[in-house]
Amino acid sequence: MSARLSLYELAGLHALDPAGAQLLVDEAGLNQEPAALQRMLWPVIAVIAAALVGLGVILWLAANWDTMGRTTRFALLQGVIAVMCIAAAMRANLRAPLGLLALICIGGLFAYFGQTYQTGADTWQLFAMWAVLALPLCLGARSDVLWAPWALVAMTAISLWVFAHTSHRWRVEPQDLTIYLVAWGASGVVVAALSAAFARITGAGEWAMRTAVTLAVIGITATALGGLFFREVAPHYPLALAVLFLAAALLAQKRFFDIFALSALALALDTLVITGLARWLFTGGSNDLVGRLMLIGLAACGILAGSVSLIMRLAKRHAVQGTEVAQ
């Protein structure tokens, strides 16, 4: 039952007149906007508006491609970026949304450059340059509004680099192990740079780090699954298990604990362990399909329940330790 209905029942119980019932509702604060809404509404609207304006500029440019010259297109994009950066430097309260608009237009500028001058550069190079050139903007804004999309750009560059160095086929073969290890290391660098350990320098918050962790986990897990279902299990699979386990052990420590990131790692580990069990069972000679499926289902339930229980115990332990330290 809602608080408003409870108040109306209380007013009816005590036979309050309409004025008394309204006074009761007013005293409960139910006719006022929530404080969190007042604090967050306009910043969120500003961020959404900046994203839509940035996309609108790029789409408007594409829609008027034939009516504008090369110089005009470059001047438009560069002008928007310059104006947004100057405005962000001057208006601290709008720095994050204006910076986001500039970040989007930087990507549009590189996309237009790649369309205009066929340099032969791989797509990953454009994303890498986008990430590098947007770094000063992100460091200046010091907000997850910029760092979270920056993490997406950086992780996309890493993923496209892997694609370019595996014969543009997204293959997972033993000879490509070094390429994937380099990519995993680069992903780890991005995650570490956006972690709380460097927050004093970057200004990045938890959502930027969580974005990077989620994308890194997806990339490593997808690679491991490709290695698992190779003709023979490729070394990518056991190495991915080891990397994810070490990352989970690190995030389980109080200093680095983050329940979202740890849950993402636990889900990836559970998925890889269960799929590994499924491959092992279904490559055997037994014809008991129902029994094997039941065993996999029971194992999946047990592993998932154990992971959730462990994460919740860690969260409670760190919360209690934090309360004791505060006291």
- Predicted confidence (pLDDT) per residue in 60-107, tens digit: 888 887 787 888 888 888 898 999 999 988 988 889 999 999 999 998
**How many domains is the chain partitioned into structurally?**
2
| Residue 113 shares a structural domain with residue 135 | no
Q: Cβ distance 266 to 304 under 8 Å? A: no
Task: Output the pTM of the full model.
Answer: 0.83
Is residue 3 assigned to a domain? no
pLDDT at 148 over 90: yes
Q: Which domain holds residue 100?
A: 33-118
Strands, DSSP E only, in 133-225? none
| Residue 163 shares a structural domain with residue 55 | no
Please report the pLDDT score of residue 1 as a whole number: 46
| Residue 209 shares a structural domain with residue 61 | no
| Residue 216 shares a structural domain with residue 238 | yes
**Cα(222)–Cα(181) distance, integer angstroms:** 14
**Cα(70)–Cα(129) distance, integer angstroms:** 21
Listed residues 93, 118, 143: the one ending a domain = 118
**Cα(262)–Cα(248) distance, integer angstroms:** 6
Listed residues 90, 118, 146: the one ending a domain = 118
| Residue 217 shares a structural domain with residue 253 | yes
| Residue 93 shares a structural domain with residue 191 | no
Is residue 21 assigned to a domain? no
- Predicted confidence (pLDDT) per residue in 292-325, tens digit: 889 899 999 999 999 999 999 999 888 876 655 4
Q: What's the average model confidence in pLDDT over 10-39?
A: 68
Measure the CA dihedral 156/159/165/169, to 10°. Answer: -110
| Residue 207 shares a structural domain with residue 83 | no
